[in-house]
Amino acid sequence: MSDLELSLAGQLALVTGASRGIGAATAQALAQAGAHVVLVAREANALEAVEEAIHHAGGSATIAPLDLAEPEAIARLATAIAGRWRALDVLVNAAAHFPPLMGVADLDGKTMARAMTVNSLAVHGLIHAFHPLLKRSENARVVHLTTSVAGEPRAWWGAYGASKAAADALLTSYAEEVRNTSKIRVAMVNPGATRTKMRAEAYPGEDPQTVKEPEVVATRLLALLGEDWASPHHEKLA
């Protein structure tokens, strides 16, 4: 099934990091396919712009401004969604915190804690809070954006790599735990070099025109939802 044929009509999707970049592009692709999309990020104004674009294109979305570093906020969101919808069909985690590039010996506790909180503990918080709703779906899919440095540690990238590696481990374990007891499937996708704000921060001298746009990743993620794959699924985009 191609992404153009995929219909998510009547399904509910939640996208974190939906205010810009890959998250925003993915949210718009999901809405175009018919899903109602819950847009999650810290910046309300940016979320409203994405919501407006979705509505203008004929889709539907709801914004949920919150900081993923606050576990109580995630729990409140899950409670609110459960009060309105029966199930969550798609959970896309595109949110990430990019800490300063520095040596491990120079990392202070605050910097490391922020990276672990947003990139790893928030992932656990999302799974813990939304697992009951995912179980109610007939075909629940969890898609998490990962990175090469999660599996291939690199000098100066310790905080980011470690925090993303922890999230990958959590989600791999989760996928194994639910594989035979539910219809929940988990995919970890490394988007590769993409024209995002985070990429610009990591590679300030790079010409952004030399890397792909977020919409390319969004198109692939949407297509992935219509494919049959074993969980946990791992994929890296060129």
Q: Which of 98, 130, 157, 160 is catalytic?
A: 160
Q: Distance (Å, rounded) from C-alpha 7 to C-alpha 173?
A: 29
Task: Note if 160 is an active site residue.
Answer: yes
Q: Which residues are catalytic?
A: 160
